[in-house]
Chains A and B, each alone.
Chain A
Amino acid sequence: MISMQPPETCLGLRPVVNHRLGLPEVSLFSGLGLLLISWGNVRSRSGADGQLLFWTGLLLILFPTVWRLLQPQVDRKERALLLALLSLSLYLVKMLHSPLLFTFHDELVHWKTAQDIQISGRLFQPNPLIPTSPLFPGLEIITAAIASASGLSTFAAGILTISIGKVLLVLALFLFYEKISASSYLASLAVLFYTANPSFLFFDAQFSYESLALPLAAFILLLVVRDPRSRAAPGRFAVTLLAILALTVTHHLTAYALVFLLGLIILLAPFQRLFYRAYLQLCSRFPGTVKQWIKKLSIPVADPHLSPAQPSPQVHHLSVLLLTLCSLGWLLSVASFTLSYITPYMSGAFLELLQMIVGEATGRHLFRSFSGHAAPVYEMILGYASVAMILAGCVLGLLKVYRLRFNNLALALSLAVAAYPFSLLFRLTYWGSEASNRASAHLFISAAFVLAIAAGTACRPLTRLRTAVLSSLFCLVFTGQVIIGWPLWARLPGPYLVSADMRSIDGESLAASAWAETVLGAGQRFSSDRVNTLLLGTYGGQRAVTVINDGILVAPVFFATELGSPEKAILSAAQVEYLLVDSRLSSGLPMTEVYFERGEPGGYRHRSPFDPAALAKFDEVPAASRIYDSGAIRIYDLRELYNEP
Chain B
Amino acid sequence: MSRDRLCLLPILLWTLAAGVITLSDASSSPLYRLLVLPLVLFFPGYSLTAAIFPSPQTRYADPFPPQDRSDPVLRFVLVTGTQISVLIVQGLLLHLTPLGITDRTSTLLLAGITLLSGTAALFRSPGQKNHPSARLTVQIRPRIVLYGTLAILLVLAAFILAARGMQQSISPDLTQLWILPVEGAGGGQFQVHIRSLEQHPQQYRLQVWASGRLVEEWPSINLSPGESWSAGIIISPEASAQVEALLFRAGSGSIYRRVHHVLP
Binding site for B on A (CB under 8 A): 1-3, 23-25, 27-28, 30-32, 34-35, 37-39, 41-42, 45, 76-77, 80, 92, 95-101, 117, 120-124, 137-138, 141-142, 144-146, 148-151, 164-165, 167-168, 171-172, 174-175, 212, 215-216, 219, 222-223, 226-227, 230-231, 233, 235-236, 238-239, 242-243, 245-246, 249-250, 493, 505-508, 510-511, 515, 519, 622-631, 635, 637, 640
Contacts and interface: CB of A to CB of B under 8 A. Distances in A.
A145 B108 CA distance: 12
A119 to B, nearest CB: 11
Contacts of B107: 149
A124 B92 CA distance: 10
Contacts of A97: 162
- Interface class of chain A by DSSP: helix
A433 B100 CA distance: 40
Nearest to A632: B174
Interface string B171-187: 11111111110000000
A219 B144 CA distance: 30
B191 to A, nearest CB: 10
B151 A99 contact: no
B111 to A, nearest CB: 12
A37 B48 CA distance: 40
Contact of A34 (B33, B77, B158): B158
B173 A39 contact: no
Contact of A625 (B74, B154, B260): B260
A171 B92 contact: no
Interface string B57-98: 000111111011011111011101110111111011001000
Interface range for B: 35 or more
A1 B71 contact: yes
Contact of B33 (A150, A174, A233): A150
A123 B91 contact: yes
A574 B39 CA distance: 45
A42 B77 CA distance: 36
A235 B78 CA distance: 12
Given A508-B174, A630-B175, 14 more contacts: A1-B73, A24-B147, A31-B153, A77-B73, A92-B158, A141-B101, A142-B87, A145-B101, A148-B106, A149-B36, A150-B33, A167-B80, A519-B178, A627-B261
Interface in B128-184: 133, 143-144, 146-148, 150-155, 157-159, 161-180
A41 B176 contact: no
A242 B86 contact: yes
B258 A242 contact: no
21 contacts: A1-B68, A24-B151, A34-B158, A35-B158, A41-B161, A45-B166, A99-B163, A117-B101, A123-B92, A146-B40, A149-B37, A150-B33, A164-B84, A165-B84, A171-B73, A175-B73, A215-B84, A216-B81, A507-B172, A625-B260, A631-B257
Given A34-B154, A235-B53, A629 B62 contact: no
B85 A243 contact: yes
Contacts of B100: 120-122
A38 B162 contact: yes
B203 to A, nearest CB: 17
Given A123-B92, A212-B84, A640-B262, A24 B61 contact: no
Nearest to A30: B151
A494 to B, nearest CB: 9
Nearest to A514: B172
B81 A511 contact: no
B12 interface: no
A291 to B, nearest CB: 40
Contacts of A121: 100-102
Contacts of B103: 148-149
Contacts of A227: 63, 65
A627 B241 CA distance: 15
B115 interface: no
A318 B95 CA distance: 28
B89 A242 contact: yes
Contacts of B87: 141-142, 145
B161 A27 contact: no
Contacts of B162: 38, 41-42, 96-97, 99
B189 to A, nearest CB: 14
B74 A175 contact: yes
B92 A245 contact: yes
Contacts of B144: 23-24
Given A164-B84, A507-B169, A42 B161 contact: yes
Q: For B68, B146, B154, which residue has the most chain A Cβ atoms within 10 angstroms? A: B154
B13 interface: no
A216 B86 CA distance: 12
Contact of A123 (B63, B101, B158, B260): B101
Nearest to B170: A507
Interface of B: 33, 36-37, 39-41, 48-49, 51-53, 60-65, 67-68, 70-74, 76-78, 80-82, 84-89, 91-92, 95, 100-103, 106-107, 133, 143-144, 146-148, 150-155, 157-159, 161-180, 197, 241-242, 247, 257-262, 264
A245 B170 contact: no
Which has the most chain A C-beta neighbours within 10 Å: B71, B77, B161, B177?
A: B77
A145 B257 contact: no
* Closest 6 pairs between A and B when the two form their complex, measured CB to CB: A31-B154, A507-B172, A141-B91, A235-B52, A24-B147, A230-B63
Given A30-B151, A227-B65, A506-B170, A511 B158 contact: no
A146 B76 CA distance: 19
B159 A100 contact: no
A142 B92 CA distance: 11
Contacts of A233: 61-63
B147 A235 contact: no
A182 to B, nearest CB: 13
Contacts of A117: 91, 101
B173 A507 contact: yes
Nearest to A233: B62
A637 B178 CA distance: 11
Given A101-B170, A123-B92, A630-B176, A32 B77 contact: no
A216 B33 contact: no
A627 B180 contact: yes
| Residue from A226, A233, A235 whose CB has the most chain B CB atoms within 10 Å | A235
A231 B61 contact: yes
Given A175-B73, A242-B82, A510-B170, A27 B147 contact: yes
B88 to A, nearest CB: 4
Contacts of B70: 1
Contacts of B151: 24, 27-28, 30-31
Given A28-B150, A215-B84, A222-B77, A150 B62 contact: no
Nearest to B110: A145
Contact of A622 (B49, B133, B241, B259): B241
A233 B66 CA distance: 13
Contact of B63 (A226, A238, A630): A226
Query: Residue among A24, A45, A77, A122 with the most chain B CB within 10 A?
Result: A24
A250 B89 CA distance: 10
B77 A219 contact: yes
A245 B262 contact: no
A77 B74 CA distance: 11
B40 A145 contact: yes
Give the residue among B80, B107, B155, B167 with the most A Cβ atoms within 10 A.
B155
A246 B178 contact: no
Contact of B106 (A2, A145, A245, A628): A145
Nearest to A161: B84
Contacts of B71: 1
B85 A629 contact: no
A171 B79 CA distance: 12
B165 A493 contact: yes
Given A27-B151, A34-B154, A45-B168, A171 B161 contact: no
